Chain A
């Protein structure tokens, strides 16, 4: 249809360039080591999953990646720039390239969906009111919530709140979106629709997605690559494509997790 190669929505970084690089990260709470020797890289446009059983430290790792917790040691780099030890302006600039969808969606309850999505635009862009309104409409349309601009979070369902949270996370067209258990609390159909939405947004906007989840259906449907954490090992016990790991991982814990204890997938 279009003879010219389409320019990628994402930046000019080469496809092989890692956008997220985590090196030798150690996460602690006081004297308790939760995760250690965490090293991995996420490539541009990748749908990257952090998986593992309950209590293995998935959300803790995510909170370290997005700067809500400070690692005991190791480093996190985005686009080759140091994030963990960065000065405040660099850190803020990098934070603007992220979008985060929290487990509870974390919409501001006193604001309408329009205001929720509009706040980052108001803070970080020079768009006028009408232009902001159009971007808000586009973002809500992208997540299938057209027309719900004036609704408050309490007036919509849990699945809609998740999608509204995603619209807010996408407001500034981030280069990386982090998801914390996107399927938590959703029924299978809504969960599958959210998976399709994630895939569609990655394909249309070229966004890199880092997703914390233990939902096998989502992992198999979406993941380009996964790392698996384990509470006993306090670190990564497997890395690769989920189907390959399920079939051929040398670690029984990985096979058990990915096959629900031997169930055929």
Chain B
């Protein structure tokens, strides 16, 4: 490249009421540029003539500057003469002036009532979509029972590994800490009444009936539900699901059922594992803070927990597994065809799953109370 280009400059001369502006130097959009208001100062000419000085190079910044001069002249009723500029600059400046006056009508505004109405009908639609999706999954599952050979076992095993074995570290940590925290809180209160040993009862029952299945489900909603939504959403964006549909393959059977079966099978196992780790956390606190020997803690835990407690937790965890899988897959299938859509699908999958898990847990609490379980 030959030498450094000189900066953009405007030399002005006032001839009576006429201002002559000579444009020179290199006009580059990324460099500092003169502003017309600064060039003009206090002067208010009746006519402006724009000429070429020693112009070295130019780009859109020059076109914009000429447009600014023309606009100033229009606003102040001054004559503007740009005939001394290259034809391309004049054409582009005219194009810019025209563009600033052009608007394509498109209403992006939001009326509050309309937004509320759309959201309300959207909610109804969402419930319908959810029911429709559950129906499709049920039909697919019935078809699977009739023809188990068509089921994609390989995908299912791979998902089982992903949502089961690979989730063990995070489930371990969360469950252990949950048991630990509950035991600490209980220890402080129960110690005042000399009822230290009942920490085992409290932690054991709370973990096995509620916290174990719940924490495992919440972890999987964030980890696996979001992954399902993102995977399937990405497939929707890349037209992979359209390809399945046009081949006459039901996406629910191909994509959803393997994930649904995998998570439904893995969730109770993870809940069981979370129960063990929760009890272990409580045992650790009891031994270290309350000086309760682990053997006594274990005997107390065995005394308080019976099969109905364990089975009620496991039944819930199966339902939670279905909820997480259905929420993840449904949001993935509903995903908009854009990167932002995939992000929204993943977020929505987690929110939906957690909301439904809590709701289902409340329903179970009432149901088990009525049944005396």
Q: List A residues at the B interface (Cβ < 8 Å).
A: 1-2, 4, 6-14, 79-80, 96, 109-110, 121, 124-127, 131, 134-135, 137-142, 146-148, 150-151, 153-155, 172-173, 203-205
**Complex CA–CA separation, A65 to B87 (angstroms):** 34
Interface residues in B9-49 (C-beta closer than 8 Å to A): 26, 28-30, 32-33
Tell whether, in the assembled complex, residue A137 and residue B100 are in contact, meaning their CB atoms are under 8 Å apart. yes
Tell whether, in the assembled complex, residue A121 and residue B29 are in contact, meaning their CB atoms are under 8 Å apart. yes
Tell whether, in the assembled complex, residue B87 and residue A1 are in contact, meaning their CB atoms are under 8 Å apart. yes
Report how many A-B pairs have Cβ atoms within 8 Å.
Answer: 111
Give 15 pairs: A residue, B residue, CB < 8 Å, sorted on A. Answer: A2-B85, A7-B57, A7-B58, A9-B88, A12-B3, A12-B56, A109-B339, A126-B32, A134-B68, A137-B99, A138-B63, A147-B103, A148-B104, A173-B28, A204-B88
Closest residue on chain A to residue B343 by CB atoms = A110
Closest residue on chain B to residue A5 by CB atoms = B86
Chain A nearest CB, measured from B297 CB (Å): 53
**Complex CA–CA separation, A78 to B158 (angstroms):** 48
Q: What DSSP secondary structure best describes chain A's contact surface?
A: loop
Contacting residues, chain A, for B2 (C-beta < 8 A):
12-14
Contacting residues, chain B, for A140 (C-beta < 8 A):
99
Contacting residues, chain B, for A131 (C-beta < 8 A):
64
Tell whether, in the assembled complex, residue A12 and residue B1 are in contact, meaning their CB atoms are under 8 Å apart. yes
Is B96 engaged at the interface, CB distance under 8 Å to the other chain? yes
Is B5 engaged at the interface, CB distance under 8 Å to the other chain? yes
**Complex CA–CA separation, A31 to B102 (angstroms):** 54
Tell whether, in the assembled complex, residue A147 and residue B1 are in contact, meaning their CB atoms are under 8 Å apart. no
Contacting residues, chain A, for B338 (C-beta < 8 A):
109-110, 153-154
Is B146 engaged at the interface, CB distance under 8 Å to the other chain? no
**Complex CA–CA separation, A171 to B114 (angstroms):** 37
Given contacts A110-B340, A154-B338, A173-B59, is CB(A134)–CB(B30) below 8 Å?
no
Given contacts A12-B57, A142-B95, is CB(A6)–CB(B1) below 8 Å?
no
Contacting residues, chain B, for A4 (C-beta < 8 A):
52
Contacting residues, chain B, for A125 (C-beta < 8 A):
29-30
**Complex CA–CA separation, A138 to B86 (angstroms):** 17
Chain A nearest CB, measured from B62 CB (Å): 9
Residue among A79, A124, A172 with max Cβ neighbours from chain B (10 Å)? A172
Contacting residues, chain A, for B91 (C-beta < 8 A):
204
Chain A nearest CB, measured from B94 CB (Å): 10
